[in-house]
Amino acid sequence: MSETVMSKTAFVRTVPIEPLPPPASMVGVIGWMRANLFSGPLNIALTAFGILLAWWVLPPMIEFLITDAVWSGKDREACIVKEGQPSVGACWAFVRDRFAYTIYGSFPVEGRWRANLFFLLGAVAVWWVLAPKAPHKSWGMLYAFVIVPIVSFFLLRGADWLAWAGLPYVETARWGGLLVTLVVAAVGIVVSLPLGIVLALGRRSQMPLVKFFSVLFIEFVRGVPLITVLFMANTMLPLFLPESWSPDKLLRALVGIAMFASAYMAEVVRSGLQALPKGQYEGAMAMGLNYGQMMRLVILPQALKIAIPNIVNTYIGLLKDTSLLLIVGIFDFLKAIETARIDPIWAAPTTSATGYAYAAIVYFFMCYGMARYARNMERRLAVADKR
Amino acid sequence: MSLVDRDQRPKVAPWNDPKVRGNVFQAVLTVFVLFVVYEAFSNAAENLAKAKIASGFGFWNNIAGFDIGQRLIEYNATSSYGRAFWVGLFNTLLVAAIGIVLATIWGFMLGIGRLSKNKIINLLSTIYVELIRNTPLLLQLLFWYNAVLKALPAVRDSKDLGLGMYLNNRGLFTPEPVFGAAWPMVNWAILIGLAGAIGYRHWARKRQEATGAQSPVFLVTLALVLGLPLLVYFAAGQPLSFNHVQLGRFNISGGWQIFPEFVALLLGLVIYTASFIAEVVRAGIQSVYRGQTEASYALGLRPGPTLRLVVIPQAMRVIIPPLTSQYLNLTKNSSLAVAVGYPDLVQVFTGTVLNQTGQAVEVVAVTMLVYLTISLSTSLFMNWYNSRKALVER
């Protein structure tokens, strides 16, 4: 049958014709630009505005940070306008000269390996706890939250009876720079998570008084600026304690930061707890678990997993907030730069801007790294929830 | 046949009874907290007595003896500490209020920019938000103050910004408006215009709901709010003149001086908070389900009304709670004024007054109380607002 039809028709192609390529204006770079940059009058105006803005900001920035920058030199002479150097950009020579100072402050030079070892221990802890593929996570938690803090304490502070091991006592007033920033951030991180969990559980407790004290603490601390908490820790803590205790200045600041971070962490953990369906609690209770077992084995692992992105975001805030320590006279990273930039040896027009650019780069890489991690985790969790 | 009494709890030892255990635990906790508080205060009393520092608020009416550059209320070196407190508080509220308005505008623009289909605008807003959010506010404040504003030219090389405004390292100088005798009439015209505009809009909406007929709301509002005051202004013989800035060789006089400390703090707070508001706005708009936009288009609404009538009202429900917490953050962050020397509550009271009187407990407590009052009253308002605006579901 079909053959007779075929024979009557003059000619039928057996193979379909290849489709014509789409017009050049719809694909490739031009197509992309038409769709995304020039799709209408408003869009064209926005594109022009965006390009103008970028043109206005980017070239001067590149000029300042790279092409006009001074990369080497011994003192301010290198970074001032002079013969053969009509315009001066960033004075990176200053940062190179003061680099060690911004990292260690006035920590004894022969003891800097201790700070370096502390950075290494911390880096391992971060990898072990955060990397999704790292083995033996529970050992990692033990390492990061118990072993590293204890080892670091003796490593950095040292003691007279440890002098034989190359760990003589270094008073905290001599700690400085990025070392102090990271120590404070690390203490905040290590203390705020367990304390925050306790406070969050307290806030959701059935016991009215426990709930009352938790809410009181959380709302009080969250309601005031960090700077007043630091002032309180700095000026009132010595008053409230017996005179013989006289806490160290850095310790006072640590107490303030830890209190502040814990209150914020409590709210993050609470949001994780609230996200769990009631069935999880009821299921755990039906299995005959008591409160501690229920929390440890069923509720907290799930609630903390949900809360990971927000926990990391709180840590980012904490790291940024450590810069406030300079106001109460602690020698943190920003304070080291503040001190270095007004040093007359490097007094040049662009020294301040360079110092701040350097600080911004360091803070940005630490915070952005954490933010990227939080976003990745969020995506992984979203995938896990999709069934 | 007797029923088993289901309410009868099985007999357990008291140390296994959760109720008893809970009560004991709470009692222990309460005693512990009270003990800590008692110890703290007895130590404080003892330490203060030893250091011969007075306690109580007797210092409140003593003469402060220091001057404050920027003030909204009358204050001089012979005023009391209490007066200094109010000067600081008003300065905090001033920078917070202006900062909130500007950060909202800038933040909404950025947030919409981050969702823009235009790749360049999108990229630029993303870079801005990531860069600003991931560096400390204090660093930004110091940068604006020390590296930008302090590096401005001296008085005699002031930058002329036009319109009689000058910029130098002592701040921004603008002409000061001088109101003539007939100015109150213009004020009344503004008030009447506003009231009229609100009334007209109300009437127009009622009419549209009842009959479907639309009214030229925009034009009438413009005429009432702008046109009426302008008319009165010219009819009253232009009762407004300006006290212009007199630029000398070493000195500058006349006009309004906006201090560089204020500018640095405002700039830092607005730029920083706007990047957070941008994220709040982006999340809010993205939370509105796409189907809402599509349904709106299907009903024949154009993109503008779709955004205004369908997307934004739903997005606002998601945006407002985190937006308020950003406002609170801005207010609390304004306490960083102390780093650039802007005389806010913390700088004046917790800084200078605390150093002069040494009464740490009272001063810090009062400062904290002020911020707590602001925070708690805002969250009370928010709870009320949320309960009103919450989606009523089946």
Collect all residues of chain A within an 8 Å Cβ-Cβ radius of residue B118.
36-37, 43, 46-47, 50
| pLDDT value of position B292 | 92
| pLDDT value of position A213 | 92
Greater confidence (B105 vs A306) lies with: B105
Collect all residues of chain B within an 8 Å Cβ-Cβ radius of residue A50.
118, 120-121, 123-124
From residue B168, alpha-carbon distances to A119, A287, A354, B260, B343 in Å are 44, 73, 22, 9, 20
Collect all residues of chain B within an 8 Å Cβ-Cβ radius of residue A360.
135, 139, 143
Whether chain B has a CB inside 8 Å of the CB on A178: the answer is no
CA distance A146 to chain B (A): 26
The answer on A102 and A30 residing in a single domain is: no
Greater confidence (A63 vs B102) lies with: B102
Q: Which of A203, A227, A328 to mutate to test the interface with B (most CBs of B within 10 A)?
A: A227
Residues 6+ apart with CB under 8 A from B67: B76, B77
pLDDT tens by residue, A307-356: 888 899 999 999 999 999 998 888 899 999 998 888 888 888 888 889 99
- Mean pLDDT over B54-60 rounds to 78
A13 falls within a domain: no
| pLDDT value of position B7 | 64
Collect all residues of chain B within an 8 Å Cβ-Cβ radius of residue A349.
151
Collect all residues of chain B within an 8 Å Cβ-Cβ radius of residue A207.
22, 25-26
| pLDDT value of position B134 | 93
Comparing CA positions, the residue from A319, A80, A307 lying closest to residue A181 is A319
Domain CATH for A330:
1.10.3720.10
Least confident residue range of A81-90, A363-372, B20-29, B91-100: A81-90
Which residue in chain B is spatially nearest to A358 when comparing CA positions?
B139
Partners of B176 in the beta sheet? B243
Which residue in chain A is spatially nearest to B367 when comparing CA positions?
A228
Which residue in chain A is spatially nearest to B53 when comparing CA positions?
A239
The answer on A98 and A63 residing in a single domain is: no
How far apart, in whole angstroms, are the C-alpha atoms of residue A378 and residue A180? Answer: 30
How far apart, in whole angstroms, are the C-alpha atoms of residue B376 and residue B383? Answer: 10
The answer on A181 and A47 residing in a single domain is: no
Whether chain B has a CB inside 8 Å of the CB on A245: the answer is no
Which residue in chain A is spatially nearest to B48 when comparing CA positions?
A239
Q: Which of A356, A358, A368 to mutate to test the interface with B (most CBs of B within 10 A)?
A: A356
The answer on A252 and A103 residing in a single domain is: yes
Comparing CA positions, the residue from B261, B284, B277 lying closest to residue B103 is B277
CA distance A49 to chain B (A): 8
Comparing CA positions, the residue from A144, A173, A145 lying closest to residue A157 is A173
A116 falls within a domain: no
pLDDT-based confidence at residue B379 (cuts at 50, 70, 90):
confident
Question: Which residue segment(s) compose the domain that A62 sits in?
Answer: 24-67
CA distance A27 to chain B (A): 16
| pLDDT value of position B391 | 64
Q: Which of A229, A323, A358, A362 to mutate to test the interface with B (most CBs of B within 10 A)?
A: A323
Nearest to B346 among A228, A323, A356 (CB): A228
Which residue in chain B is spatially nearest to A232 when comparing CA positions?
B364
Q: Is the pLDDT of residue B90 over 70?
A: yes
The answer on A180 and A62 residing in a single domain is: no
**pTM of the full predicted structure?**
0.86
Burial of B371 per CB tally in 10 Å (0-12, 13-18, 19+): buried
Greater confidence (B4 vs B228) lies with: B228
CB pairs under 8 A between A and B: 160
Q: Which of B20, B41, B134 to mutate to test the interface with A (most CBs of A within 10 A)?
A: B134
What part of A 43-62 touches B (C-beta under 8 Å)? 43, 46-47, 49-51, 53-54
A143 falls within a domain: no
A140 falls within a domain: no
Comparing CA positions, the residue from A221, A262, A317 lying closest to residue B372 is A221
Q: Is the pLDDT of residue B370 over 70?
A: yes
The answer on A367 and A237 residing in a single domain is: yes
Q: Is the pLDDT of residue B4 over 60?
A: no
- Mean pLDDT over B320-342 rounds to 90
How far apart, in whole angstroms, are the C-alpha atoms of residue B236 and residue B230? Answer: 10
Q: Is the pLDDT of residue B85 over 80?
A: yes
Comparing CA positions, the residue from B149, B158, B168 lying closest to residue B261 is B149
The answer on A225 and A98 residing in a single domain is: yes
Whether chain B has a CB inside 8 Å of the CB on A364: the answer is yes
Which residue in chain A is spatially nearest to B362 when comparing CA positions?
A236
String of b and e for A330-339 (b: at least 16 CB within 10 Å)?
Answer: bbbbbbbbbb
| pLDDT value of position A4 | 53
Asked if A378 contacts A311 with a C-beta cutoff of 8 angstroms, the reply is: no
User: First vs last Cα of chain B: how many Å apart?
Assistant: 44
| pLDDT value of position A387 | 53
Q: Is the pLDDT of residue B1 over 50?
A: no
Residues of chain A with pLDDT under 70: 1-9, 385-387
Q: Which of B138, B276, B352, B356 to mutate to test the interface with A (most CBs of A within 10 A)?
A: B138
pLDDT tens by residue, B245-261: 777 766 777 777 888 88
| pLDDT value of position A121 | 92
Collect all residues of chain A within an 8 Å Cβ-Cβ radius of residue B33.
213
SS3 content of chain A, % helix, strand, coil (to 5): 75, 0, 20
- Mean pLDDT over B364-379 rounds to 90
Beta-carbon separation of A363 and B136 below 8 A = yes
Beta-carbon separation of A323 and B136 below 8 A = yes
Based on the structure, what is the number of domains in chain A? 2
Domain B81-175+244-389 has CATH 3.30.1390.20: no
| pLDDT value of position B260 | 87
ipTM (interface pTM): 0.86
User: First vs last Cα of chain A: how many Å apart?
Assistant: 51
Secondary structure element (H or E) that encloses residue B64, with its range: none
| pLDDT value of position A9 | 67
The answer on A102 and A28 residing in a single domain is: no
Q: Is the pLDDT of residue B24 over 70?
A: yes
Beta-carbon separation of B354 and A49 below 8 A = no
